[in-house]
Structure 1
Amino acid sequence: MGYALSRLEIDPDYSDSESSLVGDDNDSQQSSSQHDLDHEVAQLTKLRSAPHDRLKRVLPRREELSVSPVKMLAGREGNYTGRGRFSSADRCHILNKYLPVKGPSIVDQLTTRAYVSQFSNDGSLFVAAFQGSHIRIYNAEMGWKLHKNIVAESLRWTVTDTTFSPDKRFLIYATMSPIVNIVNIGSSATDSHANAMEVHEALEFSGDDEVAYSFGIFSVKFSNDGRELVAGSSDDSIYVYDIDANRLSLRIQAHTADVNSVCFADESSNLIYSGSDDNLCKVWDRRSSRSKGKPVGILTGHLEGITHIDSRNDGRYLISNGKDQTIKLWDIRKMSSNVPQTPEFRKYEWDYRWMDYPLRARNAKHAYDQSVATYKGHSVLRTLIRCYFSPEYSTGQRYIYTGSHDACVYVYDLVSGTRVARLMHHKSTVRDCSWHPYYPMLVSSSFDGEIAKWEFPGNGENPVQVNNSRPRRQDFD
């Protein structure tokens, strides 16, 4: 494995100014107390990231989460489990203690705001998009060498989202226009400053020339098979684009305000999740006749607009970041068929783009909150700040992480709600961040123009070469 394991284990109460790891606080304690630890998602998460039962029995009886890697390695060598190797849960139990909190080292810096930062599915490529027309792709396997330098077309204000195709041959990017561009990134030429080496194929999400520039795309995602795109827009709609047929295949008037985020629920791409400024998450099933205009379910609980959603990729659970300064965890089996009538909540004027969240609203609760858990401590202001589940391979999706207006990255334990890390370095809003799918590495992008890389371990020096996009099986077997 490309990263040596240190003796340091992440503890919620551990505080180290050099590593920017900060312990629990009142907000996280309050959010932790809101969790139903008997809920199925907690049990599933523990199963994905707990030592083998036989391994726990042969070791001294201690709290499950304190089983040390040294004893687990001894148990593997002694073949206590009878399998002769670690299970995926054993592997996650070791790796999820070593969070990417060291550093950071600076990958790149521009004089304009960084809006998007995302790894490809295998972690070999990384894309960063900046306000204006700059889109840069780096090869994370070759010392973060610049792979592509792309100038965005059809640009209005900024690049709002990017997504790699599953085979990494193409990059999709969206701006504040109804045109989404697809670029072939497989060629060897690095600099496409004049776009002479690449063809930016425009995918039209509006068929009416008169309203062609009346809305913009906030969010766009590839389906798992790479044949479709789902997009959320400022005209309150969800769009599905058939890439093979080169045409728009579905438009749903989905919400009563901007659709800030969309994603597919799982690999089948039948279910779509959406989050909007109307405070609602909705679930859409394209197999249902109702999908032409009505969701199969609605999730209520946020008191303000939703800035981002992320699926656990199991067709059941998702998280959402909200302008009410919370992340919420949802189980779609608890969704309702309509929006409940709730008492008027907002009795004040507030705009998250330039105002702080009102003190009077911080302890307010939705009368019909359907969420499984709520996570607090970060700040969702000025922009559509994003949140994600941590990787399945290395953590068993035990954590939730998010950018924040206070220039930090926050990491929460999904089960307990405890804040386990706060990464401090940036000087301005962190809009996006991305955790490497296999290694303890996290990259953040900020309005200060910096792309920063956090690792475990890390020494704050220049970015180091990553030799493998995926660890070898023998590293953990």
Structure 2
Amino acid sequence: MSRSRKNTKLSDEASGGFSSGGFDHEIAQLTKLRSGTSENMSKLVGGKNKGWISPVKMLAARESNFLRKSKFSTADGCHILNRYLPVNGPYLVDQMESCAYVSHFSFDGSLLVAGYQGSHIRVYNVEDEWKVHKDIMARGLHWTITDTSLSRDKRFLVYSSMSPTVHIVDVGSSVMESLANVTEIHEGLDLSGDDEESFSIFSLKFSMDGQEIVAASSDDSIYVYDLVTNKRTLRIPAHKEDVNTVCFADESGHLIYSGSDDSFCKVWDRRCLASRSQPAGTLVGHLEGITFIDSRGDGRYFISNGKDQTIKLWDIRMMSSNSECVSRPRTNFNWDYRWMDYPAKLREMKHPNDQSLATYRGHSVLRTLIRCHFSPEYSTGQKYIYTGSNDGAVYTYDLVTGALVSKLNHHETTVRDCCWHPYYPVIVSSSWDGMIMRCEFPGSDKTPPSLKQRRNHRLYLN
């Protein structure tokens, strides 16, 4: 694979086709509060450029006790850290002969999970030089691993494929080579219930308490499986086409977001589903199907990746109560994103009833269900959003300005998924070239120090 292409950092002026209604909005203020300097720090060391204060001045103010406290506020820490984007590298984590489909860190960042088309799911120990912690050979695989999810306590991992049965593995066991039902039991969780029709699971997530799994399926439905009672407890006929993505809105587990090939994002309130199997609301704006949704975690904002080659930012308070009154515009183009480029005539087309807060353009959503995410709250204040792309790159956008702040070119083909370490400036990407790659800050041509070695640096910032 050629390494001649260099990673690119772009200025805040490169917006990538960003559009918003003028961001005098609450989320702009919330992002600033999370990722900007505190009011006391700004008054103390603020200069001509109010948007950026030198870390040297901030450290000097803290060490001189001008702030009358021994550590930075959370926002002050984010203000320093979110400027150090993970753009140095790439460094190879692993390479398989089959396509890499999914990758994500554990809640505490100590483990990385990666799922491959060729039946393998590997769990890497991030703090032990990214060595393989557990090598899982999937059971009942149909075509590919479509998704994986690790419980918050790192005990259990669930995985899905093009089948109504998902499987659960004990990641905390002592078995390293986990061959399904040979060296370790991979219990099957049947989401079909008494239904005879087969379907595929495209997306699944653990609840925060680890007691439930929510899944999106090809039979236009959302499923919830209760691990305590060991049975499917809910089926929602949610959309009119494949449901490609689903997630919990926040830690409560009451609200669920879903996205479908019918182009709609829907919000489901489980507290109301007993009386009426209708969504709490629908959000329209995408012109084509939705490939992925990521929640900001506050039960209010989320982003979605669409086959119309855009990411959109949403506020559920703007949702419509009746989706039937707002139809998807007819484009009169018969195209299939799996093997065709998006028609040029549609790239600047806008939905007449677009309810999104902002639209981000520049990346390519083709060939597969490419995923997008918010950057971590701890280190960036969720100041950025980032996504894989069919052109082999990872794109990072400024949430508020829409600026394309980095484009990491280190794969030869589609990057389906990527993940940002919850505490350190590290981005991992998984590509159809079979490679799991990471970029970090700081970095050089030499292999960077382990995350364990860099803890002392983080303690100094605090």
Q: What TM bracket, shorter-length normalisation? A: over 0.9
1:44-443 equivalence runs, <5 A: 44-193=30-179, 195-208=181-194, 210-211=196-197, 214-289=198-273, 292-339=276-323, 340-342=325-327, 344-443=329-428
SS state of the match for residue 92, structure 1?
A: helix
Partner amino acid, structure 1, of 2:373: Y
SS state of the match for residue 210, structure 1?
A: coil
Q: CA RMSD in A?
A: 2.0
| Deviation per residue, 1:67-121 (Å, 9 max, x gap) | 1110111111123333332000000000000011100100000111000011000
Preserved CA contact (<8 Å) 1:438 1:471: no
Any gaps of 5 or more consecutive residues in structure 2? none
Which of 24, 30, 49 lines up with 2:17 in the alignment? 30
Q: Matched residues in 1 for 2:275 and 2:122: separation?
A: 37
Q: Matched residues in 2 for 1:331 and 1:37: separation?
A: 13
Distance 1:451 1:336, change over 3 A: same
Q: Matched residues in 2 for 1:257 and 1:343: separation?
A: 13
SS state of the match for residue 57, structure 1?
A: helix
Partner amino acid, structure 2, of 1:252: I
Partner amino acid, structure 2, of 1:21: K
Any gaps of 5 or more consecutive residues in structure 1? 1-15
Distance 1:473 1:357, change over 3 A: closer
Q: Matched residues in 2 for 1:201 and 1:428: separation?
A: 34
* Cα drift, residue 37 of structure 1: 1.8
Q: Matched residues in 2 for 1:82 and 1:45: separation?
A: 25
Preserved CA contact (<8 Å) 2:5 2:410: no
TM-score (norm 2): 0.95
Distance 1:336 1:343, change over 3 A: closer
Q: Matched residues in 1 for 2:195 and 2:355: separation?
A: 41
SS state of the match for residue 406, structure 1?
A: coil
SS state of the match for residue 167, structure 1?
A: coil
| Number of aligned residues | 458
Aligned to 1:20: 8
| Deviation per residue, 1:416-465 (Å, 9 max, x gap) | 00000000010000000000000000100000000001100122445742
Q: Matched residues in 1 for 2:26 and 2:455: separation?
A: 30
* Cα drift, residue 471 of structure 1: 7.3
Q: More displaced, 340-349 or 231-240? A: 340-349
SS state of the match for residue 64, structure 1?
A: coil
SS state of the match for residue 43, structure 1?
A: helix
* Cα drift, residue 56 of structure 1: 1.5
Q: Matched residues in 2 for 1:127 and 1:56: separation?
A: 40
Partner amino acid, structure 1, of 2:60: A
* Cα drift, residue 58 of structure 1: 2.2
Q: Matched residues in 2 for 1:119 and 1:474: separation?
A: 21
Partner amino acid, structure 1, of 2:23: L
Q: Matched residues in 2 for 1:414 and 1:218: separation?
A: 27
Preserved CA contact (<8 Å) 1:391 1:435: yes
Preserved CA contact (<8 Å) 1:54 1:80: no
* Cα drift, residue 194 of structure 1: 6.1
Distance 1:414 1:77, change over 3 A: same
Q: Matched residues in 2 for 1:467 and 1:40: separation?
A: 37
Partner amino acid, structure 2, of 1:382: R
Partner amino acid, structure 2, of 1:261: T
Aligned to 2:27: 41
Preserved CA contact (<8 Å) 1:409 1:444: yes
Distance 1:142 1:343, change over 3 A: closer
TM-score (norm 1): 0.92
